[in-house]
A and B are shown apart, each in its own frame.
Chain A
């Protein structure tokens, strides 16, 4: 049964792995000090901090580069996606 307004349970956006249309790939380098700013800015919520370092979930990262732009340490480099 379809719900009014196509409202449905949370988590449905995980079904589409939106990472596959990425043309640029953010790479976290050693300069990362784990401040967490990129985690807050990522519009796809695909950055988490693990052991004080930003870790990107490439299944959903669309390669917008906002994280690289916002990182105060310039610790994220955008590279051409080769995969």
Chain B
């Protein structure tokens, strides 16, 4: 074990290196670039025994790792924003063919208007692909979660691609001390990939077969694997803690929820700010807590309901919008609470296009949630930090 100060992107590259993938393929796009640049350097310098395939697009990158994973080797890719969107067609096929590729979804806004600032619109567009989505709060968690991701993806009860989502720039380009684990320990946690099936010219198989009649069952098999992943994610997080003495939550993580009247629900790097805000609010006597959603797919509805059972109101923050509906995370939380005894849900949209989410932003959400409680009226959507002066007349 060693600790060095490094960029979040380097922490991800270091994590991938100790996972010993055999094939990496990627196309550079901000803010994912530093991760794959560093990995290609590691391969070129002989520090990582892998094949790095340079490609002409994200569609090709996803296709290359689809193929390499089908031959039975550990494979990795990463992208952001438009690049992730270009991968979608292949990601559906990858999840359907049950190939355990790990990818990093470095969160960035989707055009138009064009910007390279972070929000969650891109990975939200991949929500229904069948790819497991794990969101991380900081770079050390990104390091740990990538190692856990391969173990989860390659488990024969799961066999689904896993995407580790991390906020672009905020995490990928900030420097923090990172604890790097010893190769031997990582090897003991993450043994070699043993494929269930593999492409082998000596024993040919059909991949990507045609089906009409059985489509529903194939889709259900993916869903059941996602359901099994719920317990597996927790087991793997606990095993990681045993070996590496670090824990970031399983499906969710809770912060000061036990006696909280207002519980905030969010994903990703804002959780750090949320914790500071909650600490401040608590000194002022406001009973606030946080549920950090670590696994977005599979969605841990039961866990969240359990964590907020004593709360009087829940405020969910989304960094993206399903246009015509609202915040996707809030929508999922509401659907998890439907037909159950659960607190009312306030949906808050903030932080889109990289707009800063500050302690003040969190304070506004809490105030709105308290107001909603007092008046008994919950607005459909609360646009936190919304600037009406920007709107056309």
A contacts, CB < 8 Å to B? 2-13, 16
Contacts and interface: CB of A to CB of B under 8 A. Distances in A.
B206 A5 contact: no
5 contacts: A2-B218, A5-B96, A6-B97, A6-B208, A13-B209
Given A2-B214, A2-B217, A11 B206 contact: yes
Given A3-B197, A4-B98, 19 more contacts: A2-B214, A2-B218, A4-B159, A5-B96, A5-B97, A5-B159, A6-B96, A6-B208, A6-B214, A6-B218, A7-B97, A7-B197, A7-B207, A8-B205, A8-B209, A9-B206, A10-B204, A11-B204, A13-B206
A82 B99 CA distance: 42
Interface in B158-215: 159, 196-197, 204-211, 214
Interface of B: 96-99, 159, 196-197, 204-211, 214, 217-218, 221
A7 B71 CA distance: 13
- Please name the 8 residue pairs, one residue from A and one from B, whose CB atoms are nearest each other, closest first: A5-B98, A10-B204, A12-B206, A5-B97, A7-B197, A4-B98, A6-B209, A8-B206
A10 B214 CA distance: 19
Nearest to B159: A4
A9 B205 CA distance: 5
A10 B206 contact: yes
A4 B206 contact: no
Contact of B99 (A2, A5, A10): A5
B39 to A, nearest CB: 27
Max chain A C-beta neighbours (<10 A), residue from B97, B98, B206, B217: B206
B152 to A, nearest CB: 16
Contact of A4 (B196, B208, B209): B196
Contacts of B159: 4-5
Contacts of A3: 197
Nearest to A7: B197
Contacts of A11: 204, 206
